[in-house]
Structure 1
């Protein structure tokens, strides 16, 4: 759920003064608020000189939670929603699409896990260019200056059958590049700010129908979350869960496919394991493990988690590498 800091612009009662009051009770997000004893919090507000405004802030948080409760749907409605709205978006990699049954599914969060240079960013760039080439808009969160418009242009040039720099046909490349909106995001709070604004825009129908967001990419989610997980306090963990909750909520409510990347860290016995720990493990709907064969552009993909596919299914794909 959302951190209180990210809610201030949309809800003026959740100002810095109220946030400080909540922080004194180790409440930094809506999740923390839900877990706290409401009666004890109100009693604490009563003993404060700003009791009226603090209780108004508490009421504001309760109303926000009420609006975020999803409508109840029966099995038939869920099936109809899946068939009508939860489309599949091809990634541009036959191996990955085969494992996923056709591509990234709208309404779900898919995670690519792998060591450095395993092909995670290349998979993100290829997915972005493929979705944009097919007419969908893409939101791309670049956390490490790895987004390369030149590589996107190279991918589009390869698949469109014309050479980069050929001014005779600038149309396809221009349309693809215009459909990919890249944000340089270097901390979790920046990401929350952009996601909250995107949420507001989608709810208010500011986004034009022909530029509807179909894919949201975070490359990489672990770069944003790892720095806040240090120490023994609960804030980092709460922010991590809030990030996952917000991404999944956007995916489900607006039929967006979400793709995030995660790096590997050393585990017990010297083996590698996905970063962010066991708590994050339950967040993605789908987890794919990527590894690159030494000295080649061949990438191995296997399923670590999938709601409808057996684990350890594997496939191969070839990375498109360009000197850009």
Structure 2
């Protein structure tokens, strides 16, 4: 969801006076508005001489929020939508594709969970290079300077010589890299700005048909969200759920596969568990757990959550590191 000042152009009622009124109640974004006591806000809007327009602005915001909720659809419609639109796209890793029945599914948010150095970024880079080789564009939100063109070159050519090899190899690599649009993103508000801009571009068909965005990667979502959960109470959780909702909305409405990574934290029983807590775990359609033996070149991957597969299914000895 967006800051209020970004709505003024499209919604005239959300003008400077309305924004000043909201700011007096510490409301600067749609998220802040959702967390506020609406009865108290309406009561406060009754005092000024411009009360009628302020109340109209409040109702305008409520209608914007209401429009964000997807329409109710029945099971038959869901099945038809899955058959017609939500195709499966290879990650480039045979073991992962076999485990998932072909790869990442368009229209769904898939989460990779694992400790540091377990292979999460490797899967992201492999998926990006595979999607880009098949003429689809990839949006890569890099939160930790982990994007590596050298690794992409390896996955494209299966050899580091691709960078300095013959002209055909170089052209092939250049085409793939040209289709991967990488943005450094270092806080959740930057991510919201990027996602809203992507939504505008996709809706207005700025992205050319031969460069259709097929994959959106956020590596990692937890590094953006964890800071806002510390000490921010309900506001941090609201921002987290809003981020998840926006990612899923982009996936569904524009037939994009969304891939995010998440780290692990220690649980009360001493075992590690996915970060971001109980509120987040219902957001991804698919959750996968990656693990890797210390110093090893292979990893194991298991299903934590999947809409069509049993939890606990595992693919062992997937080679991601070379």
- Normalized against structure 1, the TM-score is what? 0.89
RMSD: 2.5
2:77 alignment counterpart: 77
- Pair 1:229-2:205 in alignment: no
Given that residues 286 and 305 in structure 2 are in contact (C-alpha distance below 8 angstroms), is that contact kept between their aligned partners in structure 1? yes
Q: Which runs of 5+ in 1 are unaligned?
A: none
Equivalences for residues 13-24 of structure 1 within 5 A: 13-14=13-14, 18=18, 21-22=21-22
Distance in 1 between residues matched to 2:73 and 2:321, nearest whole Å: 43
Distance in 2 between residues matched to 1:192 and 1:54, nearest whole Å: 26
- Pair 1:282-2:287 in alignment: no
Using CA pairs below 8 Å that are at least 6 residues apart, which structure has the higher relative contact order? 1
Given that residues 219 and 260 in structure 1 are in contact (C-alpha distance below 8 angstroms), is that contact kept between their aligned partners in structure 2? yes
2:162 alignment counterpart: 163
1:273 alignment counterpart: 273
Given that residues 29 and 242 in structure 1 are in contact (C-alpha distance below 8 angstroms), is that contact kept between their aligned partners in structure 2? no
SS of 1:116's equivalent?
coil
1:320 alignment counterpart: 321
Distance in 2 between residues matched to 1:92 and 1:6, nearest whole Å: 39
Q: Which runs of 5+ in 2 are unaligned?
A: none
Equivalences for residues 39-118 of structure 1 within 5 A: 39-48=39-48, 51-118=51-118
1:81-122: CA deviation from partner (whole Å, max 9, x where unpaired): 211110111111112111211111111110000000000000
Distance in 2 between residues matched to 1:9 and 1:131, nearest whole Å: 36
The Cα shift of 1:16 comes to 7.2
Distance in 2 between residues matched to 1:230 and 1:50, nearest whole Å: 38
1:15-61: CA deviation from partner (whole Å, max 9, x where unpaired): 67645644665756546645756444222212246535533432331
SS of 1:214's equivalent?
strand
Give 4+ residue runs of structure 1 displaced > 6 Å after superposition.
none
- Pair 1:299-2:299 in alignment: yes
SS of 2:231's equivalent?
coil
Distance in 2 between residues matched to 1:215 and 1:151, nearest whole Å: 18
